[in-house]
Chains A and B, each alone.
Chain A
Amino acid sequence: MIERTLMRVTLLVAAGTVPLPAPRSLAAQDPTAGKKVYVKWCAGCHGDDGAGDGPAANAMLPRPRNFTGAIYKIRSTASGQLPTDADLLRAIDEGLSGSAMPAWKGRLSDAERRNVMAYLKTFSSFFADTSQHVVPLKFSSVPGGGSSVAALKEGRQFYDSIGCRKCHGDQGRGDGPSAPTLKDDAGFPIFAADLHENWRFRGGSGVEAIYHRLRTGLDGTPMPSFSDLIDQKFLTDEQLWRLAQYVRSLSPAKAPEVRDVIHAPQIARTLPLSPDDSAWARVDRYWFPLVGQVIRKARWFAPAVSGVWVQAVHDGKTLALRVTWDDRTQSPDTAWLGFEQRLMQTVTSDDSGPPTAEPWPDQLAVQFPRRLTDGMERPYFLMGAATDPVYQWRWTSQPRRAVAGLARGIDQFDTLPAAPAAQAAFDHGEWRVVLSRALATPDTGNEVQLEAGRAIPVAFFVWDGSSGEHGSRMALSTWYFLALDRPTPPGVFISPAVAMLVTLGLGLVVVRRAQRRGAGR
């Protein structure tokens, strides 16, 4: 009987005859209560009047949302339509990756998030306008076979034919010919997304999210909607999915996890000193996120480079360290000077006022302590101090060279006579730099001795010249470790076998004894 009733209810619900209760999260919105939440948690960035101009806004790129125009990037609706409540709540709940907007789920209660959503809708009269259509687009579900070579090839074909490369570049790193001219609706400079870093996509990293963005566009930005192309049969819905799958394939299968220790295996063959040596494909790579330097003046809140991939190998005598990072420009690049100027005017540094755009080079610094110690103490991570300098390799794109030296804080760098060897390649928005040096050097006082089996502290700094980065305006990491692995001693392979034999032997003895006892009874 109960079963039958349940079945009937299920059928009714399925047939749509029983009105489903509205999802709890969207019910009962109270803008008055939401205002209190807004003033406390949101106004610092979004401003008292919702115009995206709070005290912290000037230090952010992308800027906080201006609610007064009701223009939202991440929606499930057609370009030009208002977002749904669910769209707004998603941004509040999950935050917007790659921006300063954090996830509020878990920090604010369900009611608080719902109410603040209701309040931010009051900043624009569009939400009260009942003639506005707010209809989520009907998205199809992802077709299978998306990771096959043929499917990705088809996706790539549309990447070219619908002109994605104009802004996102040939290889998708946001370095297309139109990229340096891009502005958002408020006139602020905006980067075409680097499609190799999907974990920074505002609307989500998955293939569905990418497809949704292609359908809806990102309103308020140069990214248009491609829905008209399906309506006009320029491409099919499945082909748009193929494009989304191709874009997804440019990023790693999983968002990179930060591992603290770079393991440098010892290899028998010649060290790969060229950045494009095929041997690098077989070496594990480590991701280190970078953040803007905001400790010392002049601070920098909009670092262009989000992180570096690091690989290392050694042959018992020399270390080869390959650092790879995405950078839209091979700086200095005059095509980006205008963008650089707008960027510097938009992201105000603390006190120094907007500087003029200059053709700065790209730079990389790899930092070590001068000497390895047995304790946990390390020099100050931000380029050491006058009394406790750090040993650094510094590479610049122009002039193309690397030097070694001692940094005594951000402002002082004293070059040492011995420089690391460096080879670099720039390819479609990616730098690949290999630095190498002998593990042991004569200047043991200043140059870190790279001993196998030790945890060698290491940190990274990157400057994108075309974003105006130079001096203290840079992206940096904290201390991590480099470990030069020793070749595996043969004992490693023998001892498990010995252990197994011993176990087997002991086991046999036990069994025998048990059997004898049994026989004796």
Chain B
Amino acid sequence: MRKLGLMAVAGLAGLALALGAWTLHPSAVQGGATISGKIKFTGTKPANPKIDMSEEPKCKAKYQGVPTEEVVVVNPNGTLANVFVYVKSGLPATYKAPEPAGDVTLDQDGCRYHPHVLGILVGQKLAIKNSDGILHNIKAKGVKNRPFNISQPTVMTSERTFTAPEVMIPLECNVHGWMHAWLGVLPHPFFAVSGADGSFSIKGLPPGTYTIEAWHEKYGTQTATVTVAGSETKTADFSFAAK
């Protein structure tokens, strides 16, 4: 009887949590407009620097060939990955971001960061995970946010939050000079990172005219102005050229 009661309570709690996540998760915001597009890439794709992981056999073993840095990742379909696309301006002054649902995870695996580019809400927890179990230090070099530098010599997770919008905060490991990641901190959930097909999608926007910025670590930024109404979907493509 007691067991049943406990289970019922647990079940209800689970349901409540799921509901909470469903209503609060940014991508699950009901209705609203969508801005989506592709990040094209033109020109010859540059070779990424090779990484010499001989000092870290544990990491090296995770790769078949020679691992490289991820400065410019061009997808097989000719699009560009790791572009941070976000609403730079245009939200009504009264806009209030939903409470962040869950943490954002940054994993250190194979002496590289996963993901390489990521976004987070002001106040949302960044869970910094060390899956390698060897010494990493994680340094965040914010300018609007206080920078920090913490040590993770073993499999562990550290949590940090960010207080001010900032695009982008460089993250790095000084033990492994090749490890770089980029974190965009925003006061709203309207951001996306172009993936393996070069596409992005920003959903749940209130009607309005927005400045959308696309940021790439090597090729800089581009902006587009997009007006959306109701629950329509508008396209905003960007194109970066090899330098």
Chain B residues with Cβ below 8 Å from A163 are: 134-135, 151, 153, 175
Whether B148 pairs with A79 at a CB distance below 8 angstroms is yes
Whether B153 pairs with A81 at a CB distance below 8 angstroms is no
Query: What is the count of residue pairs linking A and B with beta-carbon distances less than 8 angstroms?
Result: 85
Name the segment of B28-36, B72-80, B137-145, B195-203 touching the other chain: B137-145
Partner of A162, one of B139, B153, B163: B153
Complex Cα distance A235/B15, Å? 38
Complex Cα distance A79/B148, Å? 5
Whether B174 pairs with A182 at a CB distance below 8 angstroms is yes
Chain A residues with Cβ below 8 Å from B141 are: 185
Complex Cα distance A446/B153, Å? 58
Is residue B158 within 8 Å, beta carbon to beta carbon, of the partner chain?
Answer: yes
Residue among A69, A80, A219, A224 facing the most chain B CB atoms (10 A cut-off): A224
Give the B interface residue count (CB, 8 A): 26
Name the interface residues of B99-144: CB closer than 8 Å to any CB of A. 134-135, 137-141, 143
Contact with B along A124-153 (1 / 0, CB 8 A): 001000011000000000000000000000
Is residue A32 within 8 Å, beta carbon to beta carbon, of the partner chain?
Answer: no
Whether B146 pairs with A126 at a CB distance below 8 angstroms is yes
Whether A229 pairs with B148 at a CB distance below 8 angstroms is no
Is residue B149 within 8 Å, beta carbon to beta carbon, of the partner chain?
Answer: yes
Name the interface residues of A158-182: CB closer than 8 Å to any CB of B. 161-163, 166-167, 177-178, 181-182
Q: A162-B135, A163-B135 are in contact. Are A178 and B151 (CB under 8 A)?
A: no
Is residue A222 within 8 Å, beta carbon to beta carbon, of the partner chain?
Answer: yes
Whether B175 pairs with A225 at a CB distance below 8 angstroms is no
Whether A162 pairs with B151 at a CB distance below 8 angstroms is yes
Chain A residues with Cβ below 8 Å from B134 are: 163
Chain A residues with Cβ below 8 Å from B148 are: 79-80, 217, 219, 225
Whether B146 pairs with A132 at a CB distance below 8 angstroms is yes
Chain B residues with Cβ below 8 Å from A71 are: 147
Query: Closest CB of chain A to B182's CB: distance in Å?
Result: 16
Contact with B along A213-249 (1 / 0, CB 8 A): 0000111111111111100101000000000000000
Chain A: which residue is nearest B145 at the CB level? A80
Complex Cα distance A82/B177, Å? 26
Is residue B211 within 8 Å, beta carbon to beta carbon, of the partner chain?
Answer: no
Chain A: which residue is nearest B153 at the CB level? A162
Whether B175 pairs with A79 at a CB distance below 8 angstroms is no
Q: A163-B135, A166-B135 are in contact. Are A220 and B175 (CB under 8 A)?
A: no
Complex Cα distance A223/B134, Å? 16
Query: Closest CB of chain B to A304's CB: distance in Å?
Result: 20
Chain B: which residue is nearest A338 at the CB level? B177
Complex Cα distance A177/B52, Å? 12
Partner of A229, one of B139, B146, B151: B151
Is residue B223 within 8 Å, beta carbon to beta carbon, of the partner chain?
Answer: no
Query: Closest CB of chain B to A408's CB: distance in Å?
Result: 44
Whether A224 pairs with B163 at a CB distance below 8 angstroms is no
Query: Closest CB of chain A to B21's CB: distance in Å?
Result: 27
Complex Cα distance A35/B150, Å? 35
User: Chain A binding site: helix, strand, loop or mixed by DSSP?
Assistant: loop
Is residue B88 within 8 Å, beta carbon to beta carbon, of the partner chain?
Answer: no
Whether B176 pairs with A224 at a CB distance below 8 angstroms is no
Whether B156 pairs with A166 at a CB distance below 8 angstroms is no
Whether A219 pairs with B147 at a CB distance below 8 angstroms is yes
Contact with B along A184-198 (1 / 0, CB 8 A): 010000000000000
Chain A: which residue is nearest B54 at the CB level? A177
Query: Closest CB of chain A to B160's CB: distance in Å?
Result: 8
Whether B147 pairs with A178 at a CB distance below 8 angstroms is no
Whether B174 pairs with A234 at a CB distance below 8 angstroms is no
Query: Closest CB of chain B to A321's CB: distance in Å?
Result: 37
Query: Closest CB of chain B to A460's CB: distance in Å?
Result: 34
Chain B: which residue is nearest A133 at the CB level? B146
Name the interface residues of B174-207: CB closer than 8 Å to any CB of A. 174-177
Complex Cα distance A167/B174, Å? 9
Complex Cα distance A162/B137, Å? 10
Chain A residues with Cβ below 8 Å from B152 are: 228
Query: Closest CB of chain B to A348's CB: distance in Å?
Result: 24
Query: Closest CB of chain A to B215's CB: distance in Å?
Result: 20
Query: Closest CB of chain A to B130's CB: distance in Å?
Result: 11
Is residue B154 within 8 Å, beta carbon to beta carbon, of the partner chain?
Answer: yes
Whether A229 pairs with B177 at a CB distance below 8 angstroms is no
Chain B residues with Cβ below 8 Å from A81 are: 146
Whether B153 pairs with A69 at a CB distance below 8 angstroms is no
Whether B163 pairs with A234 at a CB distance below 8 angstroms is no
Whether B147 pairs with A224 at a CB distance below 8 angstroms is no
Chain A: which residue is nearest B138 at the CB level? A224
Chain A residues with Cβ below 8 Å from B160 are: 80
Known contacts A79-B148, A161-B153, A178-B55; 12 further A-B pairs (Cβ under 8 A): A80-B140, A82-B146, A132-B146, A162-B153, A163-B151, A163-B175, A167-B175, A178-B174, A222-B175, A223-B149, A225-B150, A229-B153
B interface residues with partner A (beta carbon < 8 Å): 55, 134-135, 137-141, 143, 146-154, 156, 158, 160, 163, 174-177
A interface residues with partner B (beta carbon < 8 Å): 69, 71, 79-82, 126, 131-132, 161-163, 166-167, 177-178, 181-183, 185, 217-229, 232, 234
Q: Could you list some 15 contacts between A and B, CB below 8 A?
A: A69-B143, A80-B146, A81-B146, A178-B55, A185-B141, A185-B147, A219-B148, A219-B149, A224-B139, A225-B148, A225-B151, A226-B151, A227-B150, A229-B151, A234-B154
**A-B CB proximity, top 4 nearest:** A163-B135, A222-B174, A80-B148, A181-B177
